[in-house]
Structure 1
């Protein structure tokens, strides 16, 4: 590695640190913070954008870090940390409602199912759900995230999603204009989906908070042949609130992300499957079968 290569790397890291610290900076701001000439700042930002480490907010011309930046310092441990704390609670919610319950996080401009009770729910309509990526604006979890995040962040994210998807404001969904939908989400306290994405299912989703940030969402999914949205909200919204609040409290008691110990939080292998120990999976499945049998009787 040559001296010029090392210097370029040093400058790239300095720019990334500045963008991450300022969380919304113009090239001039970054140049002032780093002492790097502005012409070099532009080239470095373009390279970091190609690496999907930063993106430009086209409304304000400010550069911001993407979720990929977290992989440099924590290997996405924050998401694993949420997963570790959330799994017991989503299992309990699954035992109460019997319908599948998902833990969903935002990653790379999509919503991703990190954990799910689909494989052990007696009413599951899908399999292999963990690892599935879903659109933001059409899903209950994405709508919950958009509705309750700060306005400036929401505007920046919608601008980015518009660029990525080609959709333009006012973002007309199959069930209405996005802004109207998000206002309804705020009134209900939960994100909802009843038409878009997978019409055979509906869902409602509540955000999980930590330090005034939304880290993930808990989602209940049901068959639209069995339930209408209004009835599902009546039956499950309070339980969903309780679960999301319990996870948020759990996170507030934990000082920092920890190494994942729960087998239910094991990372996916290259095929996108979750490696669960047979003994754990069998025990949980048997417990759900007993509960289902008791409720039927």
Structure 2
């Protein structure tokens, strides 16, 4: 077999796709550093990938992201990647408006798993690493928002999974009165809330995020309990929070084949 010289540009382009697939939305500087590709070359490769439809660029956040067209190359672009791609730019816009940090989470194995967060960018956060952490389905605002928006059948399934897999939440997940009370309150308020229930001194308000079909997750705003009540937070920030959730839904639908 004749051995030909490798095409470095192709290898580097695939390396950038691999970095975006692993790390999610990233700036050109971050990609250059992680991949070892010269920054000028990195920009040129990203522009080529963007022209060919494999990469998209969000001017508001200056981040590059994969597009569903990457699925033609591999199965690397998952539903999780799509949800994160949809969530991050609106979350940065929300942070500019309210300053308090936000988390985007999805239901997974009895927990609300945080997939994206602006904690590391907020001047008011005491946490710096939130992505990958779980929050209670029944005690967090994130979980209550999803449970309230879910259909009765979906809610039942999620609660059954939580009761089976999360011992500390099992009793509450099986308590129908407890669930009915916060579902009714969330519907009445127009948002889910939590005060000192997932972490002492921390409160949150949250709204659900719908996708193509069932609810895909929820978005919150987190703040110190001593700073304000959830009612005050809702008066100040609920409109911006709902606008961010609506934009995530729009981006999700646009990115889903």
Task: Name the TM-score class by shorter chain.
Answer: 0.5 to 0.7
Separation in 2, partners of 1:214, 1:187: 19
Match in the other structure for 1:196: 197
Matches within 5 A, 1:163-202: 163-166=164-167, 167-168=170-171, 171=174, 177-202=178-203
Match in the other structure for 1:98: 99
Cα 1:76/1:186, change in 2 over 3 Å: farther
- Tell me, yes or no, if the aligned pair for 2:145 and 2:208 is still in contact at 8 Å: yes
Count of aligned residue pairs for this structure pair: 182
**SS at 1:124 equivalent:** coil
Name structure 1 gaps, 5 residues minimum: 1-72, 257-297
Give every structure 1 segment of 4 or more consecutive aligned residues whose post-TM-superposition deviation is greater than 4 Å.
Answer: 73-76, 169-173
Matches within 5 A, 1:133-144: 133-144=134-145
Name structure 2 gaps, 5 residues minimum: 1-73
**SS at 2:196 equivalent:** coil
- Tell me, yes or no, if the aligned pair for 2:163 and 2:173 is still in contact at 8 Å: no
Could you tell me how far 1:160 is from its partner in structure 2?
Answer: 2.5
Match in the other structure for 1:209: 210
TM-score by length of 2: 0.65
Could you tell me how far 1:239 is from its partner in structure 2?
Answer: 0.8
**SS at 2:145 equivalent:** helix
Cα RMSD over matched residues? 2.2
Match in the other structure for 1:158: 159
Separation in 2, partners of 1:225, 1:179: 28
Higher CA-based Rg: 1
Could you tell me how far 1:93 is from its partner in structure 2?
Answer: 0.1
After superposition, the C-alpha distances for 1:202-247 in whole angstroms (9 at most, x for unaligned) are 1111111112311121111001111111101111111111110111
**SS at 1:246 equivalent:** helix
Matches within 5 A, 1:230-269: 230-256=231-257
Separation in 1, partners of 2:224, 2:235: 15
Could you tell me how far 1:169 is from its partner in structure 2?
Answer: 6.0
Match in the other structure for 2:70: none
247-256 or 73-82: which moved more? Answer: 73-82
Separation in 1, partners of 2:173, 2:112: 21
Separation in 2, partners of 1:75, 1:144: 29
Cα 1:255/1:105, change in 2 over 3 Å: closer
Separation in 1, partners of 2:150, 2:227: 32
Separation in 2, partners of 1:86, 1:242: 12
Cα 1:168/1:76, change in 2 over 3 Å: farther
Cα 1:188/1:116, change in 2 over 3 Å: same
Cα 1:101/1:228, change in 2 over 3 Å: same
TM-score by length of 1: 0.57
